[in-house]
Amino acid sequence: MKIKVNKEACSGCRLCRQICTIYHFDEINPRKAALRIEAQFPTPGSFRPWVCTQCGKCAEACPEQAIYEREGIYFIDKDKCTRCLICVDACPFNVMFVHDDVDIPIKCDYCFKCTEVCNTGAIVRID
Amino acid sequence: MYGFAGQMIRINLKTGDIQKRLLPESFANEWLGARGMVAKILYDEVPRNADPLGRENKLIVAPGVLTGTFVAAGSKCGFGAISPATNGHADASVGGHIGPELKFAGYDLIIFEDIATEPVYLFIEDDMVELRPAKHLWGKGSLDTEKQLKDELGEDFEIATIGPAGENGVVFACITHDFGRNAGRCGVGAVMGSKKLKAIAVKGTRSIPVYDLKSLTAQTEAIIQRTKPHPNMAPWQKYGTALFVGWSNDQAAFPAKNFQSSYYEDWPSIDGERLVKECKVADKACFGCWMNCGKYSRAKVKDREVYIEGPEYETIALIGGSCAMTSIHDVAYGNYLCDNLGMDTISGGSVVAFAMECYEKDIITKEDLNGHELRWGNINDFEFLMNKIAYQEGIGKIFARGTKGAAELLGKDSIKFAMQQKGLESSGYESRWAPSMLLSFMTADIGAHHNRSWSITVDMELGRDEIKGKAPVVVYLQHIRPLFDTLSICRLFWGELDVMPSEYVESLNYVTGWKTTEEELLRTSEKIWNLTRAHYLQRNGGPGRKHDMPPARYYEEPVPNGPAKGKVLTLESVNAMLDEYYEARGWDKEGNPTAELLQDLGLDYVVKDLKKIGQLGKPLPGGIPKVRGQMLKPKAM
């Protein structure tokens, strides 16, 4: 189970970022999304989605063992997290995010809502 | 208050004073945002004799109530001012991401007043709102400025800029955002430049309050899944609006050589197929839009390689067909020139086409052009004139006034083929065989812009030669279409993918907690229409009819070739359409709104203003029509 990225297909609409925050925070606020779209303009003119691969580097880096794995997906235990943000720095794809209103880093939990709304095939659920 | 971010900012550019306050709820509920708020503020706050490029004009930035919410393409941001092109109310909208970003930062409305002493740009990061020096950006191209500000501030800032044309008061200067999306029309960029405001940079990290997010989400998710397999989806995604170049020629609606004809023989060299094959590098969508009509392109012309979003249909029509270009690279390059110099591609293309026809007819000569030429289809000549216009040099000073302003200076009956209405150049639909489309242009409050009413399919459905029976449909379209600009969302899901107005009403009620109806919203749209009409009359005198007469080409010159060969309207038929239109609107025979209508719409204060200038419509013997406008949804192309 993973999210496949077809970077050429992304058109930068960020619908994925909207739906992510709706389902995880009950609000529309793309700054709280757990994935990002890299935009390179004016040249070469491209978008690229960056999503969590559940590689576990965040868990390896966490000094509090606050990040645990369940069925291949990594979650943050908010009671253990001290918001040291070492995991954010450790993420090889820069897809762990920080927002002032949120106590712990924001991380993808593979709900796949983003893949459901994407209409270009830029992010696709693979089972 | 749901749907709105909740705050407004008033900025005096001269003193640097920045006043933040809560957005008044009754004002927001009444005017909804973007075009609605712009109309009311301009009417109330700008003196009737104010110079559009002077200190008393105001520049307004306003997303709308649905902008940034989880609806079909809640992407738009309205810009407004008194237009230097039309001397009337102007609103122009841009997609991309800056409208939503403003709301994520907490703001529904910014009003810029007066003129800065030195060039500045507005910086917004949530609560932090400040004017910053922009001397280092002044003189730079729009696209170059956006890149530089992103380098300075960070990729996650959304930026709107003007180019040299805006700085130099070209009356069709635009405001550019997202590397090629524009608040293009009516010269809002010139107003921004007159205020020495080079750019707006915004980053917001907050959420927009939504009354019933659960229901809104369920509704929009269902619309997404329903529209994904719609037959129009795939072609839209592939070609964007450039899809319609061939269709428009087939329908004899494509402007060729400054609207001399409605059929352009070389259209296959500049259509969507060519664009995708030769220039496209990426699809590019606005915020929250899953039909991604933007085609980001690379054009190779001469020894240059440039990148630009587009060209879309309008740009292909006006720079391509109207200037008779024969290569999609030339059209895309022309698009780039307009965007980086900061000029609307519709008006910009049309102005060059008008100049090319003046050159063809010896109204301007090589001598006037310092030895240069203005030949149809010549990109070097196009570039020469564009640069002259943007920097107001030589012959450029004449054409920087737009086609109407230029024709007034050039004389020799050139006004007959200055393809504009009220000073705003016509969008890309030649209308001698599409009378209702022409009526749409003639009567549009801001001038000849297709976002007010697009009705070629109405002509197709009711008969291409038919004059009668179309005006009420145009009135309806003039209420429904600009409604999208008021809610500040993209209309294309309605026009192309059958998302129904009732669904937008449902979304709006989920977002706001209101229990509004389609009828109420259309009434608001009609109210705005009458307010902007009354404002126009107060600034430009009346009666209304004299402002609604189209360029003589439409009723004097038969179409020379193509499917509409020989077609032409007559002065009588043009006037007959206006008669029917005024009646359908509840205006008098001279096109002035009546007291009964204005009072019915809650615009009592406008009655005395029109009376004062002697332009209040005479009472209608049978009273105003109870129902104004007749629905006929244009078929998707």
CATH of the domain at B475: 1.10.599.10
Q: Would you call B288 and A13 a contact, using CB atoms and an 8 Å cutoff?
A: yes
ipTM: 0.98
Residue range B217-235: average pLDDT?
98
Together in a domain, B107 and B64: yes
Q: Would you call B291 and A119 a contact, using CB atoms and an 8 Å cutoff?
A: yes
**What is the pLDDT at residue B632?**
80
Together in a domain, B20 and B143: yes
Q: Using CB atoms, which residue from B68, B179, B283 is nearest to A42?
A: B179
CA distance B159 to chain A (A): 13
Over residues A7-16, the pLDDT tens digits come to 899 999 999 9
Work out how many domains chain B is built from and give that number: 3
A vs B, Cβ pairs < 8 A, gives 98
Q: B9 phi and psi, to 5 degrees?
A: -130, 135
CA distance A39 to chain B (A): 8
**What is the pLDDT at residue B508?**
98
Over residues B1-56, the pLDDT tens digits come to 999 999 999 999 999 999 999 999 999 999 999 999 999 999 999 999 999 999 99
B467-496 in b/e form (b: 16+ CB < 10 A) is beebbbbbbbbbbbbbbbbbbbbbbbbbbb
**What is the pLDDT at residue B170?**
98
Together in a domain, B462 and B574: yes
Which residue in B10, B494, B563 sits closest to B253, CA to CA? B563
Is residue A39 less than 8 Å (CB to CB) from chain B? Answer: yes
- Contacts A27 to B, Cβ<8 Å: 207, 210, 213
Q: Has residue B35 been placed in a domain?
A: yes
Over residues B465-477, the pLDDT tens digits come to 999 999 999 999 9
* CA–CA separation, B180 and B94 (whole Å): 10
Q: B269 phi and psi, to 5 degrees?
A: -85, -5
Together in a domain, B266 and B368: yes
* CA–CA separation, B331 and B266 (whole Å): 13
pLDDT above 80: residue B633:
no
Which residue in B557, B536, B531 sits closest to B546, CA to CA? B536
In contact, B315 and B349? CB cutoff 8 Å: yes
CA distance A63 to chain B (A): 29
Residue range B338-362: average pLDDT?
98
Q: Using CB atoms, which residue from B143, B210, B221 is nearest to A28?
A: B210
Is residue A53 less than 8 Å (CB to CB) from chain B? Answer: no
Q: Would you call A42 and B147 a contact, using CB atoms and an 8 Å cutoff?
A: yes
Q: Using CB atoms, which residue from B179, B287, B294 is nearest to A14?
A: B287
In contact, A79 and A30? CB cutoff 8 Å: no
Write down which residue in B383, B400, B417 finishes a domain: B400
Q: Which residue of B has its CA nearest to A41?
A: B179
Which value, in Å, is the radius of gyration of the alpha carbons in chain A? Answer: 14
* CA–CA separation, B619 and A54 (whole Å): 72
Please, which residues 100-119 of chain A have a Cβ atom closer than 8 Å to chain B? 100, 116-119
Q: Using CB atoms, which residue from A30, A43, A117 is nearest to B224?
A: A117
Over residues B85-107, the pLDDT tens digits come to 999 999 999 999 999 999 999 99
Together in a domain, B94 and B49: yes
* CA–CA separation, B289 and A120 (whole Å): 11
Q: Has residue B134 been placed in a domain?
A: yes
* Prediction pTM value: 0.98
Q: Using CB atoms, which residue from B205, B206, B282 is nearest to A45?
A: B282
Environment class of residue B498 by beta-carbon count within 10 Å: exposed (0-12), middle (13-18) or buried (19+)? middle
Q: Has residue B522 been placed in a domain?
A: yes
DSSP B279-337: IEEEEE--TT-SS--EEEEEEEETTEEEEEE---HHHIIIIIITTT---HHHHHHHHHH
Please, which residues 36-95 of chain B have a Cβ atom closer than 8 Å to chain A? 68-70
Write down which residue in B376, B400, B424 finishes a domain: B400
Which residue in B255, B422, B271, B307 sits closest to A43, CA to CA? B307
Together in a domain, B394 and B439: no
CA distance B75 to chain A (A): 10
Residue range B147-170: average pLDDT?
98
Q: Would you call B281 and A100 a contact, using CB atoms and an 8 Å cutoff?
A: no
Q: Would you call B207 and A18 a contact, using CB atoms and an 8 Å cutoff?
A: no
Specify the amino acid at residue A48: R
Is residue B157 less than 8 Å (CB to CB) from chain A? Answer: no
Which residues span the domain enclosing B122?
A: 7-203
Together in a domain, B343 and B486: no
- Contacts B304 to A, Cβ<8 Å: none
pLDDT above 80: residue A48:
yes
CA distance B94 to chain A (A): 15
Write down which residue in B203, B218, B251 finishes a domain: B203
Residue range B500-524: average pLDDT?
97
Over residues B362-421, the pLDDT tens digits come to 999 999 999 999 999 999 999 999 999 999 999 999 999 999 999 999 999 999 999 999
Q: Has residue B83 been placed in a domain?
A: yes
Specify the amino acid at residue B501: P
- Contacts A30 to B, Cβ<8 Å: 104
Q: Has residue B258 been placed in a domain?
A: yes
pLDDT above 90: residue B302:
no
CA distance A75 to chain B (A): 24
Q: Which domains does chain A have, with CATH numbers?
A: 1-51+110-127 (no CATH), 52-107 (3.30.70.20)
Together in a domain, B30 and B165: yes
Q: Has residue B220 been placed in a domain?
A: no
pLDDT above 70: residue B637:
no
Together in a domain, B370 and B478: no
Q: Has residue B162 been placed in a domain?
A: yes
Instruction: Please name the residues in contact with B356: beta carbons below 8 A apart, sequence gap of 6 or more.
Output: B257, B258, B323, B324, B374, B375, B376, B381
**What is the pLDDT at residue B636?**
56
- Contacts A26 to B, Cβ<8 Å: 213
Over residues A69-112, the pLDDT tens digits come to 999 999 999 999 999 999 999 999 999 999 999 999 999 999 99
Residue range B194-198: average pLDDT?
98
Q: Has residue B422 been placed in a domain?
A: no
Together in a domain, B383 and B457: no
**What is the pLDDT at residue B472?**
97
CATH (domain of B136)? 3.60.9.10
